[in-house]
């Protein structure tokens, strides 16, 4: 008969699981085996608010070190959002270049790099890269790279006939959001990259909430100023199995509907369909009417949308304060296993805030 200690040890080992997959990676070779999700049991205390000073404040406004370095070229993806840079390795950037990258991400929302070695430099250097932009977030769901809780694997692995429980009752797989907007300190300059992706599909959509804000009439924008909304982590917690894997209890936080970016002073809409639940001080019908209009406006405005096709060795830097995104789970699962394995490094930034004084003179 097993002893009490053996029973406890077995229970802990069961909690320290990788995500369920269609392949036994202990028996089969997989290049990114060490980047599979792990879960360490035990609740942690709630996150506390902290003061954040963005590294973009230290950047050269002309970005001479980043955009005008020898061999570097760049082009806008669309007028409203996105820029693609070639001829430079993220893993080799110095502090001045990283500061300019943060400013560029704040201005353009999304900065895309191809032909990078970033996936191969290892978790220690990847973590150090992310920490340059702010304290790294550890997700409430508990999924993390083993021994690196600040590195979040985003993993899907389906066999033929498998059901994705998160979207099985949805017409589309699109779920627009800003990462963990329910946290007190919002997310900032975020790094996202593919490790393994399907032959086609599994792209990510991005949009500019800054462009969406300025597309509204001045009258409508003014009516939004000063409004606050409740962002909730409970909805995310409720759709996932394995509740015992969560490392923090879900929270709800109040944030402004319109926020200001501390560096650029641009305003943006800070509500998203996934986490924003109600407008403070409004009755239910009033809140639903306003939020649904804003959700539809943000999500349907193709003038401020892009779609990123993931290729090997791509890396994307995006600013969670001025963008939203959604993964697409449109890849085929009718012929064996289809794997989408991504890595996200998510620094936190300031608590979202609004200032009436910047309304009349944003840096556009």
CA end-to-end span of the chain: 70
Residue 156's DSSP bridge partners are: 340
Could you tell me the residue ranges of all domains in the chain?
56-356
Pairing of strands 110-113, 83-86: parallel
Apex CA 112: angle with CA 54 and CA 57, to 5°? 15
The span from the CA of 340 to the CA of 158, in Å, is 9
SS3 letters across 252-304: EEEEECEEECCCCCCEEECCCCCCEEEECCCCHHHHHHHHHHHHHHHHHCHHH
CB 314 within 8 A of CB 193: yes
The pLDDT tens digits along the chain (364 residues) read: 556 555 544 554 444 445 555 567 677 788 999 999 988 888 899 999 999 999 999 999 999 999 999 999 999 999 999 999 999 999 999 999 999 999 999 999 999 999 999 999 999 999 999 999 999 999 998 789 999 999 999 998 866 556 666 677 777 889 999 999 999 999 999 999 999 998 888 999 999 999 999 999 999 999 999 999 999 999 877 766 566 678 999 999 999 999 999 999 999 999 999 999 999 999 999 999 999 999 999 999 999 999 999 999 999 999 999 999 999 988 876 666 678 999 999 999 999 999 988 875 444 4
Cα separation values, 289 from 104, 277, 282, 284, 296, Å: 35, 12, 10, 9, 11
SS3 (DSSP) at 5: helix
- Whether pTM > 0.85 for this model: the answer is yes
CATH topology of domain 56-356: Double-stranded beta-helix (3.60.130)
């Amino acid at each position: 008969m097993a002893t009490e200690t053996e029973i406890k040890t077995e229970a802990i080992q069961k909690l320290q699981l990788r995500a369920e997959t269609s392949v036994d990676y202990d028996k089969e070779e997989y290049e990114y085996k060490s980047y599979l999700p792990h879960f360490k049991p035990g609740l942690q205390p709630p996150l506390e608010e902290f003061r954040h000073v963005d590294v973009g404040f230290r950047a050269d406004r002309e970005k001479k070190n980043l955009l005008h370095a020898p061999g570097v070229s760049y082009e806008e993806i669309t007028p409203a959002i996105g820029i693609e840079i070639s001829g430079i390795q993220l893993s080799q950037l110095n502090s001045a270049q990283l500061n300019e990258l943060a400013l560029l991400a704040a201005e353009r929302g999304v900065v895309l790099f191809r032909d990078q070695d970033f996936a191969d430099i290892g978790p220690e250097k990847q973590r150090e890269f992310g920490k340059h932009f702010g304290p790294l977030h550890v997700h409430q769901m508990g999924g993390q790279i083993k021994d690196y809780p600040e590195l979040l694997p985003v993993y899907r692995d389906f066999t033929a006939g498998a059901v994705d429980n998160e979207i099985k009752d949805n017409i589309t797989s699109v779920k627009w959001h800003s990462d963990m907007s329910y946290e007190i300190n919002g997310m900032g300059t975020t790094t996202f990259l593919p490790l393994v992706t399907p032959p086609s599909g599994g792209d990510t959509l991005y949009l500019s909430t800054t462009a969406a804000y300025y597309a509204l009439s001045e009258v409508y924008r003014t009516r939004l100023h000063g409004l606050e909304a409740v962002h909730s982590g409970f909805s995310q917690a409720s759709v996932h199995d394995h509740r015992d894997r969560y490392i923090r209890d879900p929270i709800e936080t109040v944030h402004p509907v319109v926020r200001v970016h501390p560096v650029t002073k641009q305003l943006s809409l800070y509500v998203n369909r996934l986490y924003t639940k109600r407008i403070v001080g409004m009755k239910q019908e009033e809140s639903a009417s306003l939020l649904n209009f804003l959700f539809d406006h943000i999500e349907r405005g193709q003038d401020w949308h892009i779609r990123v096709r993931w290729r090997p060795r791509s890396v994307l830097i995006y600013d969670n304060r001025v963008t939203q995104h959604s993964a697409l789970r449109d890849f085929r699962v009718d012929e064996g296993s289809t794997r989408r394995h991504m890595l996200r490094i998510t620094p936190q930034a300031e608590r979202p805030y609004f200032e009436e004084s910047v309304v009349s003179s944003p840096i556009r």
